[in-house]
Amino acid sequence: MKMSPDNKIEIRPASTLILMRSTDRVVDNVEFEVFMLRRNLNSDFVGGAFVFPGGGVLADDFDEKILKRCINFSAEINDSKFKLERGGSIGYFVAAIRETFEEAGILVGLAEHNNNIDFDEYRSRLNSKEIKFSEFLESEDIYLDLSTVYYFSHWTTPVGPPRRYSTRFFVSAIDPKFELSHDNGETIEAKWINPKLALNLYEKGEFEIIFPTARNLEKLVVYKTRTEVVENVSKYDNILETVPRITADGDEIKILIPGDEGY
């Protein structure tokens, strides 16, 4: 966790996971959908907007009990991609998986485990803070295959908002048979949607998403299938941090990113 030198607001680490599944509902040659959740209207952070599952990285996400249960992960490679010191990246992967389980009800990367686990019960207990994620994994002898999750982008909230996050975005392809659902607390609606359709509706003002969500959707729709997304994202080795700037042009508020005129 670090402080912003510009306005002394704490910049919190966070993770977001973009789940993808194949679909026959093709839009402009895009043959996959992404899973999105609508934030509670009363939320003090982007209330009412559709987002990908995600949230803050916790100290527990780096617990040795969890790390011992993560397989197919190279700390050296991923720490380099994240531009972090040794051991600094794995907690972001864990947080993405944990938050997605809490918010959407699917445990991405599930490897070795007991087949008689009541996942709904554990999801409820995690959301009510009765147990920690590390305790859940350990008690049910669960292992997580981190090779199923791919680092996609890095966005940091611009100076101005009362909360700032340094968010790592990930992607993962899942089987269409899985039934996902919102938690009916932080989120009030769940939706599978073609990313191209989401952008079309956003541009018409009919689908509320925030700026980083739109930009990440734009990165996805250059690919036809979820397989193409994974094949290309797995080769990313130099993901740059994007820190937008909020500027005023008369009465118009603009959000600029590196490369835009006036950034």
The region, left, alpha or beta by phi > 0 then psi within -120 to 50, assigned to residue 45 is beta
Q: Which pLDDT score, from 0 to 100, does residue 4 have?
A: 53
Residue scoring higher pLDDT (89 or 86): 89
Predicted confidence (pLDDT) at residue 114 exceeds the cutoff of 80: no
Residue scoring higher pLDDT (177 or 227): 227
Domain residue ranges in the chain: 2-238
Predicted structure pTM score: 0.92
Q: Which pLDDT score, from 0 to 100, does residue 104 have?
A: 94
The 10s digit of each residue's pLDDT in 217-240 is 999 999 999 999 999 999 998 899
Superfamily of domain 2-238 in CATH is Nucleoside Triphosphate Pyrophosphohydrolase (3.90.79.10)
Instruction: Return the minimum-mean-pLDDT range out of 73-82, 108-117, 166-175.
Output: 108-117
Q: Over range 44-67, report the average pLDDT.
A: 90
Q: Which pLDDT score, from 0 to 100, does residue 2 have?
A: 60
Residue scoring higher pLDDT (3 or 79): 79
Q: Which pLDDT score, from 0 to 100, does residue 233 have?
A: 96
Q: Over range 16-45, report the average pLDDT.
A: 91
Q: Over range 204-214, report the average pLDDT.
A: 94
Phi, psi at residue 144, to the nearest 5°?
-115, 130
**Mean pLDDT for the chain overall:** 90
Contacts of the segment 126-133: beta carbons below 8 A, 24+ positions apart: 126/98, 126/101, 126/102, 127/102, 127/183, 127/185, 132/60, 132/63, 133/60, 133/61, 133/66, 133/94, 133/98, 133/101
- Give the span between the Cα atoms of 226 and 72, in whole angstroms: 21
Q: Which pLDDT score, from 0 to 100, does residue 257 have?
A: 84
Predicted confidence (pLDDT) at residue 122 exceeds the cutoff of 70: yes
177: tokens are: 């048979």
Q: Which pLDDT score, from 0 to 100, does residue 263 have?
A: 76
The 10s digit of each residue's pLDDT in 6-27 is 557 889 999 999 999 999 999 9
Q: Which pLDDT score, from 0 to 100, does residue 7 have?
A: 55
Q: What percent of the chain shows pLDDT beyond 90? A: 71
